[in-house]
């Protein structure tokens, strides 16, 4: 058991060290990390072709996506947005020990960051009145209501009946035509980051996802952010492509707090100690 735990720690350390080193030394802002030289599951599945025409109003099943989809530049931030951004210490500018990235503590990635980093795999399962979305990383699931309800109002407000913000917000979905599933989300907890670079968002942020099934094997995902408290205009933060997984299996990838803390104690924090002790 001790050897197994040691192996887990070494693997986690390697992943985190690569992430921090690649981010600080070689990665340009808002560009995907490609440590695999193009040999991702998505690249492999792309060889399967279109698989034929897309079924109507159906995105059911498991899809493989990029670990870090390419992100578009964010527009100029507001004064509030700039203040929040300066307080976020990402791995691209700080050591592991100095960073305050929520992921460092295995806190929830939140939404929409979970669709911008460590996506790798998602799955959809329709249920009466809702669509369930499962994310491979940390086994997170979302309820996307399709029963015609409206999004809640005054999330995080002071009135007794105001709903609390959630890490993954409140979501409703609808079909637009036969091939595009549209999801609108509000109420994402401000403690989560918008992306790995540390861009902020407010409780007032509204996010729209558009899942367009281009053919049987290809799902195009566009995510648009509208947050006037943090940014001067709405913007599409990414458009990425997912591929149909024939065997319908998602790997288990979980951020384990105890292993993360052990990594920080043994490697992360000492590496950032400027005293050399």
Give me the domains of the chain, ranges plus CATH numbers: 2-271 (2.40.128.20)
Q: pTM of this prediction?
A: 0.82
User: Is residue 172 within 8 Å of 145, Cβ to Cβ?
Assistant: yes
Q: Is 150 exposed, middle or buried (0-12, 13-18, 19+ CB in 10 A)?
A: exposed
pLDDT at 4: 37
User: Is residue 196 within 8 Å of 116, Cβ to Cβ?
Assistant: yes
Task: List the one residue out of 163, 160, 133 whose CA is nearest residue 145.
Answer: 133
User: Is residue 219 within 8 Å of 211, Cβ to Cβ?
Assistant: yes
User: Is residue 207 within 8 Å of 113, Cβ to Cβ?
Assistant: no
pLDDT at 123: 96
Q: Could you say which DSSP state residue 157 is in?
A: -
pLDDT at 177: 98
Q: What is the secondary structure of 178-195 as a DSSP string? A: TTEEEEEEE-B-TTS-SS
Question: What is the β-pairing status of strands 140-145 and 170-176?
Answer: parallel
pLDDT at 3: 43
What does the pLDDT profile of the chain (277 residues) look like in tens digits?
Answer: 334 344 444 444 444 433 333 333 333 444 443 434 456 788 889 999 999 999 999 999 999 998 888 999 999 999 999 999 999 999 888 887 889 999 888 999 999 999 998 788 999 999 999 999 999 999 999 999 999 999 999 999 989 999 999 999 999 999 999 999 999 999 999 999 999 999 999 999 999 999 999 999 999 999 999 999 999 999 999 999 999 999 998 888 889 988 888 877 877 666 555 544 4
Phi, psi angles (nearest 5°) of residue 132: -95, 130
Q: Which residue has the tokens 């025409």?
A: 53
Task: List the one residue out of 46, 30, 48, 26 whose CA is nearest residue 38.
Answer: 46
pLDDT at 272: 56
pLDDT at 264: 79
Strands (DSSP E) contained in the chain are: 61-64, 121-127, 130-135, 140-145, 170-176, 180-186, 206-215, 218-226, 235-244
pLDDT at 203: 96
pLDDT at 27: 36
pLDDT at 260: 83
Q: List the Cα angle 107/113/117 in 5-degree steps.
A: 95
Phi, psi angles (nearest 5°) of residue 13: -60, -45
pLDDT at 270: 67
Tokens of 24: 């600080």
- Region of residue 138 (phi > 0: left; psi between -120 and 50: alpha; otherwise: beta): left
Residues 6+ apart with CB under 8 A from 85: 77, 198, 199, 200
pLDDT at 271: 59
Q: Could you say which DSSP state residue 114 is in?
A: G
């Amino acid at each position: 058991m001790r050897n197994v735990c040691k192996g887990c720690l070494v693997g986690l350390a390697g992943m985190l060290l690569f992430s921090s080193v690649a981010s600080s030394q070689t990665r340009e802002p808002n560009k995907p990390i490609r440590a695999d030289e193009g040999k991702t599951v998505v690249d492999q599945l792309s060889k399967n072709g279109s698989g034929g025409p897309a079924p109507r109003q159906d995105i059911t099943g498991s899809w493989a996506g990029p670990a870090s989809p390419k992100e578009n530049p964010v527009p100029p931030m507001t004064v509030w947005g700039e203040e929040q951004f300066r307080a976020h210490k990402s791995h691209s500018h700080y050591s592991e020990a100095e960073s305050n990235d929520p992921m460092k503590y295995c806190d929830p990635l939140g939404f929409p960051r979970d669709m911008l980093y460590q996506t790798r795999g998602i799955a959809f399962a329709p249920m009466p009145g809702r669509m369930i979305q499962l994310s491979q990383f940390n086994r997170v699931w979302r309820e996307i209501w399709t029963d015609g309800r409206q999004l809640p109002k005054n999330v995080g407000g002071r009135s007794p009946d105001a709903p609390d913000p959630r890490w993954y917000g409140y979501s409703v979905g609808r079909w637009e035509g036969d091939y595009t599933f549209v999801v609108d989300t509000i109420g994402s907890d401000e403690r989560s980051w918008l992306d790995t670079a540390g861009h902020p968002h407010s409780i007032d942020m509204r996010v729209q996802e558009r899942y367009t099934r281009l053919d049987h094997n290809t799902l195009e995902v566009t995510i648009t952010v509208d947050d006037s408290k943090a940014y001067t205009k709405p913007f599409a933060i990414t458009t990425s492509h997912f591929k149909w997984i024939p065997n319908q299996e998602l790997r288990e990838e979980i951020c384990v707090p105890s292993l993360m803390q052990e990594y920080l104690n043994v490697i992360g924090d000492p590496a950032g100690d400027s005293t050399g002790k």
